[in-house]
Amino acid sequence: AISMAACTSTASSSTASATASAASKTLTAGTYTATATGHNGNVTVEVTVSADSIDDVKVTDSKETAGLADPAIEQIPTWIVENQSISADMVSGATYTSVAIETAVADAITQAGGDPSAWRIKHESSEKGTTEQLSSDVIVIGGGGAGMTATIRLEELGKNVILVEKTSSLGGTIRVSGGNQVVTGSALQQEAGVTDDSAESMEEDFLKNGDNKNNTTLLGIYAENVGETTDWLNQTVGVQFDMETGLHKLAEYSNNRELAYTGGGAGAAVTMADAVDQSGAQVLLNTTATALTVTDGKVTGVTATTTTGKTYELTADSVVLATGGYGNNDDLLPESASEGLFYGLDSSNGSGLLMATIDGVDAATVNMDYVKEYPNGIETSKKHAKSTIAGNIAAFGMSAILVNKDGDRVVNEKDSNKNILAALQAQDDQELYLVMDAETYDTWKTKLTGAGISEEFLEQWLQNNGSSEPILTTGSTIEEAAKAAGIDGTKLQKTVDTYNGYVASGTDTEFGRSADYMTQSIGDGPYYICEQKARYATTMGGLSVDENLQVVNTSGTAIDGLYAAGEIIGGTMGTDSPSGANNGWAVTSGKYVAEVLAK
């Protein structure tokens, strides 16, 4: 059973109408279409009105992320009609979509000759101030990859679960991730042609990538269990993997061990959310856990509040914290992340971490100074980024190169993200630029929709042509595109000519880019240049746990009744996580902790 705990009101439309004068609310009957900008592109609504009421609101077109925006698309139009108001509470986790719908409806009211301000009427929920008590075997806090996996497996093993999620939908960070996962030791990896990978090889690669600051116990749990978890996720939960594209060849790994989810992270999240719905667990959406209940040193439950003001007092034998990281909390982030751009969910604010570390719970933390930074962000709003990594993977398989402000290549474009990031951060302006010919750009742009970069956005940025962020420029010549981006065009043309020479010879004598990724010269224009900045979302630090993923306090003792899964756990990755690692850890740790609790 899923409780939305949202969009309820005791106010009637007649009461709403009385709040403003009839004259100011008068409309010309008809159906009107309006559009406003959402998170990924335009959101279009169709609004039908009569002389004094809003009769119907439909979202007719949207490029918003599947699953993440669905609650807003479903709930906001209904709320507007039921309450005759365009001041609905924002749907948690889908704020941009909520605002876009309300803005578009306001435009439609204007088209109908009305005054939108007369329709901005606030309502108070009938649930405000009420309290409900619930109990179960296990309470899971957080509905991302780790929380959903833990819930599904616990219910499968006979445990009753209450899953608490503060946003309006399940999915969490996995929904907006690059959609890739480590699959070491799985049947899928063998099916894709790799039969000689091992847990030991995976551990060695992770230790190297994490500067040997990994918790080797947790890393061992991950490496030894991710294969079985992947097959369970595929065969039992129903998550599909992109076997047609197959395993990715990445510099971080000595064996090919990363697969993409079919439909990306959003596709995997929708499948997992459906499995949660079918599992029998009780799901409380729009519900924020605010405090752990501690009785005689044991965590026995959680207090939570809904967006409508209702309080839940939840009790259970065990609590699993799966609330994700702290990428959107400046108070918890290290200073080293201050130059980067945040590209994760606004809900990644460390709430579970803060609950567990207060006096009386006293959970210990580890590796709080480390965040996972990537080198392929574009600044879509102040200090916020979207990722071009999916497009870059395709582009570097064609003819794209990376250059600095001087127009020079500074790195092997197919090196590890960690090394490309280091090259980026070595630049005075903390920036690199992706250079593409017409053919490569046409492929690159089709790969970005999963990251919320629509072709509408790309066209808008190209019209700006370097005059504002994000920098995406074009020109009929290399020099013309470079000038708009503020790059030395003469030098960039020489760089392009030199690179094309490497393609012809089959050897990159400067940076060692593999001939496998130099099969095409940079060809005909128009040419395109896109900024590449550091971005972060995933945090490496978090709660200290033991071999059972039971949270440990500052004295080194396991806290009775309190467990963790996913990104909230610190130490597994060390200083940095390789590609596909975080999704793999989320599902592996979620399944693992469920099996510990079911024993």
pLDDT in tens, 256-286: 999 999 988 889 999 999 999 999 999 999 8
Rounded CA separation 178/382 (Å):
22
pLDDT score of 295: 96
Reported as a pLDDT band with limits 50, 70 and 90, residue 12 is: very low
Residues with Cβ within 8 Å of 533's Cβ and at least 6 positions away in sequence, in order, are: 340, 341, 375, 377, 378, 379, 385, 424, 430, 431
Residue 44 predicted with pLDDT over 50: yes
pLDDT score of 21: 43
Out of 29-33, 50-54, 121-125, 345-349, pick the least confident. 121-125
pLDDT score of 4: 43
CB 401 within 8 A of CB 528: no
Rounded to 5 degrees, what angle do the CA atoms 573, 577, 581 make?
A: 95
**Lateral strand order in the sheet of 42-50:** 30-37, 42-50, 53-62
Handedness of CA 517, 522, 524, 530 (dihedral sign): positive
pLDDT score of 95: 79
Reported as a pLDDT band with limits 50, 70 and 90, residue 175 is: confident
Identity (one letter) of the amino acid at 67?
Answer: G
CB 403 within 8 A of CB 433: yes
Residue 568 predicted with pLDDT over 70: yes
Mean local confidence (pLDDT), 90-117? 86
If you write DSSP's letter for every residue of 114-135 in order, what string do you get? --GGGG------TTTT-EEEEE
Mean local confidence (pLDDT), 427-434? 96
pLDDT score of 526: 98
Identity (one letter) of the amino acid at 7?
Answer: C
Residues with Cβ within 8 Å of 567's Cβ and at least 6 positions away in sequence, in order, are: 144, 146, 173, 324, 325, 538, 539, 542, 582, 585, 586
pLDDT score of 390: 86
The tens digit of pLDDT for each residue in 576-598 reads 999 999 999 999 999 999 999 99
CB 195 within 8 A of CB 380: no
Q: What b-and-e string marks burial along 293-317, b requiring 16 or more CB atoms within 10 Å of the CB?
A: bbeeeebbbbbbbbbbebbbebbbb
Match 């593999």 to its residue by tokens.
Answer: 514
Residue 11 predicted with pLDDT over 70: no
pLDDT score of 177: 84
Output 559 or 250, whichever has higher pLDDT.
Answer: 559
pLDDT score of 120: 85
Q: Which residues pair with 231 in a beta bridge?
A: none
Output 418 or 95, whichever has higher pLDDT.
Answer: 418
pLDDT over 70 for what percent of the chain?
95
Rounded CA separation 599/282 (Å):
21
Reported as a pLDDT band with limits 50, 70 and 90, residue 569 is: very high
pLDDT score of 10: 33
Instruction: Give the pairing type, strands 365-366 and 542-543.
Output: antiparallel
The tens digit of pLDDT for each residue in 304-343 reads 999 889 999 999 999 999 999 999 998 999 987 877 799 8
Q: Classify 112 as helix, strand or coil.
A: coil
Reported as a pLDDT band with limits 50, 70 and 90, residue 148 is: very high
CA 186 from centroid of its chain's CA atoms: 25
pLDDT score of 443: 96
pLDDT over 90 for what percent of the chain?
74
pLDDT score of 13: 37
Q: Classify 66 as helix, strand or coil.
A: coil
Tokens of 98: 């909520």
- C-alpha neighbours within 13 Å on the C-beta side of residue 309: 12
Q: Classify 473 as helix, strand or coil.
A: strand
pLDDT score of 17: 38
Q: Which residues pair with 373 in a beta bridge?
A: 536
Residue 514 predicted with pLDDT over 50: yes
Residue 50 predicted with pLDDT over 70: yes
Instruction: Give the pairing type, strands 282-284 and 2-3.
Output: parallel
Residues with Cβ within 8 Å of 377's Cβ and at least 6 positions away in sequence, in order, are: 340, 341, 343, 385, 386, 387, 388, 532, 533, 534, 535
- C-alpha neighbours within 13 Å on the C-beta side of residue 436: 25
CB 592 within 8 A of CB 569: no
Closest by Cα among 301, 304, 296 to 318 = 301
Reported as a pLDDT band with limits 50, 70 and 90, residue 214 is: very high
Rounded CA separation 118/360 (Å):
49
Mean local confidence (pLDDT), 135-142? 98
pLDDT score of 22: 46
List Cα–Cα distances, 103 to 94, 116, 197, 297, in angstroms: 14, 10, 52, 50
Instruction: Give the pairing type, strands 558-564 and 311-321.
Output: parallel
Output 390 or 359, whichever has higher pLDDT.
Answer: 359
Tokens of 82: 């039921």
pLDDT score of 6: 38
Rounded CA separation 213/190 (Å):
30
Closest by Cα among 565, 581, 564, 567 to 539 = 567
Mean pLDDT of the chain: 91
